[in-house]
Structure 1
Amino acid sequence: MATFDRRAFLRTTGLAGLALGLAACGDSGSPAGSSSGGGLGAVKLQLSWKKNVEFAGEYFADSKGYYKAAGFSQVELLSGGGSGTSVESGLATGRCWAGLSAPTITAPAVLQGAPLKIVGATFQKNPFAVISLSKNPIESAKDLPGKKIGVQDSNELVWNALLKANGIDEGSVTRVPFQSDPSMLTSGQLDGYVGFVTSGPVRLRMEGHDATHLLLADAGLPLVAETFTVTQETIDNERDKLKAFLTAEIKGWKDAVADPARSAELAATVYGKDQNLDVKEQTEEAKMQNELVVTPDVKANGLFTMTPELIEQNIASLAKAGLTIRAEQLFDLSVLDEIYKADPSLKKPA
């Protein structure tokens, strides 16, 4: 098993020097998103990727006026992904007030000294999966040895963690360089590839292939995703503002879960209209992602919440990825707890 190179990971995610940047940001006057004039002012939310249906809840919160009803003059949605600035770096520089990220990215920043916290998780299960064809299915981790699996360099962290979580010798699986071309799977060059369950299987099925998947979260590597990440300063000094923001987000995501078709329309024709998105495909992706957003625990406790057990599972998964961190260093779900205690009706489905 290759040792996880944390310094290399920090370089690739642009997190080197983040702690210093955040410290400087805290002393530089009003941060991005601070109120100016009446109400809560304007804030910037940095998304984890380009504008597709993955952020349907945000589109509803904006288009249906939930942000404005909460007191914000504007919540600007900034595209992420690609070679752009990470959420963690965006928080450091003041480019954004809040962001959607993942524990595998936020944890290294915190370990470098950045005062950041995850205050909620949209996806209770990370969408990473090993995608394969039903005629040659990979149904469990024990099916991996002897297979040829496509893994992008950017997904090396979760891939190595998956192997470690299941006690699989990396030499027993042939890792093949991979970008995002599913034809490598359909042509037989690969037995499977690591990708998002919300998009990979959907596209394959739309192309006439019978696809299946193994969700990493169900294969010994439970991790959340699309996590709301903010600075500790925001939690301490703008708590009511953060509550207002998360309340609007809850309302937006309740609508998104209830209406995948409208979620797809907003993504393809409004917010991501420059992304050449297909409405039918986006609708199917919305249905798929709802399974990651809504779990029995979420039905009982409310959107974005994490049980103590889920938090500990995430901490254990991060350790398998070479990231040793305590739960209280990374997560603070107290803000959400206060929101739902104040208004239990928010737990109810749309």
Structure 2
Amino acid sequence: MTRDISPALSRRSVLKSLGAVGAAACTGTFVSIEKAFAQDLQTVTLQLGWLASNGILGEVAADEQGFFAEEGLALDIVPGGPNIDGVASVASGRANIGSISSSPSLMLARSAGLPVKCIAAGYQRHPFTYFSLEKNPVREPKDLVGKRVATNGTARILLEALLAKNGISEDDVEVLVMGSDMAPLMTGQADVVTGWRTNTSALEILGDQRVDMSLWDAGIQLYANPYYVTDQTLSESPELVQGMLRAIAKGWGWVHENPEAAVDILVSRYPNLDRENELKTVGMVLDYSFNDATAERGWGTMTKENWQAQIDAYDSLGQFENAAPAVDDVMTLSVLEETADARPNYG
């Protein structure tokens, strides 16, 4: 059962938007890189999936520390937003590289005909989390039975995947459509609300009685902040792609070593962000960016097996407009392999 407890969603559904832009973006035209006249550097555009946040700490640090310049590049970060389709921007060639919130968006894009491919995973574990309170806690999937779960429209599929993974009928959970507000949990309208665990400012309202159940721990193991380029960029400009990823990887390594200084760089470039809040969050961001896998294989690592599991899960729920995409069309390890020596091995 589903009820809407929020105003109309301002952000377009990922599923609908990806399908709508599929035909237009299939051309995969590559826009030539312009010269940055003052420094004689090639300007590359990074298209974000949403607004600028602590998810780009590594990028702004890399730019500030000269890691892009070392590659002969100048970085231009373009934020996304409710009326911007970042995947289509990259697929059409308006941007050279993209970063988007969640890995399934790239699977859905590929199925819809957009020629984009993931080259690295920024967050090793997705921060998406189900939040409840100690007086009525949800600590594991079986605790969702009989609960009212408030989630935004585009995240409904994540709940469906979680329930299916754990053998729970959708009829056993009442779904409420909400925006990004956590208030329904505090007012008693919902037993569970959802969001990113790194959104610490929004979560403050829940206080010390908050109980977390992460999507990852519940069995749906997605990547967050994956980086992607077009097939054409990958085949025609491999050195450019490697240079961009080397610079970004070095930036995230620098953040790992200098978290407070990295926050200062981020806030200086985006004054709308709160320094104290970002200082509270940076450790968590680094925990999602570095783990045992990155200690072994370097920042940005990912596995074909994980991607295939994601494709299978979404296919079983009928989420692909056309046939399920082949895993080799969705992702490649080639850029990670070529940049292995430059990517930091922190855990």
Q: Which amino acid aligns with 1:115?
A: P
Match of 1:134 in 2: 134
1:277-324 deviation digits (Å, cap 9, x = unpaired): 222221222222222211211110001111343333333333345343
The 1-side partners of 2:294 and 2:230 are apart by 25
Query: Deviation of residue 270 (structure 1)?
Result: 1.8
Report if the CA contact (8 A) 1:132-1:211 is conserved: yes
Query: Deviation of residue 75 (structure 1)?
Result: 1.0
Match of 1:94 in 2: 93
Compared CA separation, residues 138 and 11, structure 1 to 2 (3 A): closer
Query: Deviation of residue 40 (structure 1)?
Result: 6.0
The 1-side partners of 2:257 and 2:202 are apart by 22
Report if the CA contact (8 A) 2:21-2:88 is conserved: no
5+ long unaligned stretches in structure 1: 3-7
Match of 1:5 in 2: none
Compared CA separation, residues 256 and 313, structure 1 to 2 (3 A): farther
Compared CA separation, residues 19 and 120, structure 1 to 2 (3 A): farther
The 2-side partners of 1:78 and 1:283 are apart by 24
Match of 1:22 in 2: 26
The reply to whether residue 296 of structure 1 matches residue 292 of structure 2 is yes
Query: Deviation of residue 42 (structure 1)?
Result: 0.6
Match of 1:287 in 2: 283
Report if the CA contact (8 A) 1:123-1:224 is conserved: yes
Match of 1:60 in 2: 61
1:233-287 deviation digits (Å, cap 9, x = unpaired): 11101001111110000000112233333333333x32221x3x22222122222
The reply to whether residue 272 of structure 1 matches residue 270 of structure 2 is yes
The 2-side partners of 1:189 and 1:10 are apart by 26
Greater CA drift, 97-106 or 141-150: 97-106
Q: Which amino acid aligns with 2:138?
A: I
SS of alignment partner, residue 84 of structure 2: coil
The 2-side partners of 1:259 and 1:337 are apart by 26
Query: Deviation of residue 87 (structure 1)?
Result: 1.9
Compared CA separation, residues 254 and 317, structure 1 to 2 (3 A): farther
The 1-side partners of 2:328 and 2:70 are apart by 32
Q: Which amino acid aligns with 1:170?
A: E
Query: Deviation of residue 109 (structure 1)?
Result: 1.8
SS of alignment partner, residue 150 of structure 1: strand
Query: Deviation of residue 10 (structure 1)?
Result: 6.0
SS of alignment partner, residue 83 of structure 2: coil
Compared CA separation, residues 171 and 245, structure 1 to 2 (3 A): same
The 2-side partners of 1:245 and 1:346 are apart by 12
The 1-side partners of 2:14 and 2:247 are apart by 32
The 2-side partners of 1:55 and 1:19 are apart by 30
1:142-166 deviation digits (Å, cap 9, x = unpaired): 1101111111112122222222222
The 2-side partners of 1:190 and 1:10 are apart by 24
2:314 to 315, 318, 321: 318
Report if the CA contact (8 A) 2:36-2:42 is conserved: yes
The 1-side partners of 2:90 and 2:32 are apart by 9
Match of 1:49 in 2: 50
Q: Over the residues paired in the alignment, what is the CA RMSD in angstroms?
A: 2.6
The 1-side partners of 2:56 and 2:316 are apart by 28
SS of alignment partner, residue 223 of structure 1: coil
5+ long unaligned stretches in structure 2: 3-11
SS of alignment partner, residue 114 of structure 2: coil
Q: Percent identity?
A: 26
Match of 2:71 in 1: 70
Compared CA separation, residues 278 and 35, structure 1 to 2 (3 A): closer
Query: Deviation of residue 49 (structure 1)?
Result: 1.8
Report if the CA contact (8 A) 2:88-2:114 is conserved: no
The 1-side partners of 2:190 and 2:258 are apart by 35
Aligned ranges 1:329-344 → 2 under 5 Å? 329-340=329-340, 343=341
Count of residues paired in the alignment: 332
Aligned ranges 1:1-350 → 2 under 5 Å? 12-23=16-27, 25-26=28-29, 31-33=31-33, 41-72=42-73, 74-81=74-81, 83-101=82-100, 102-199=102-199, 203-205=202-204, 208-267=207-266, 269-273=267-271, 275=272, 277-321=273-317, 322-323=319-320, 324-340=324-340, 343=341, 346-349=343-346
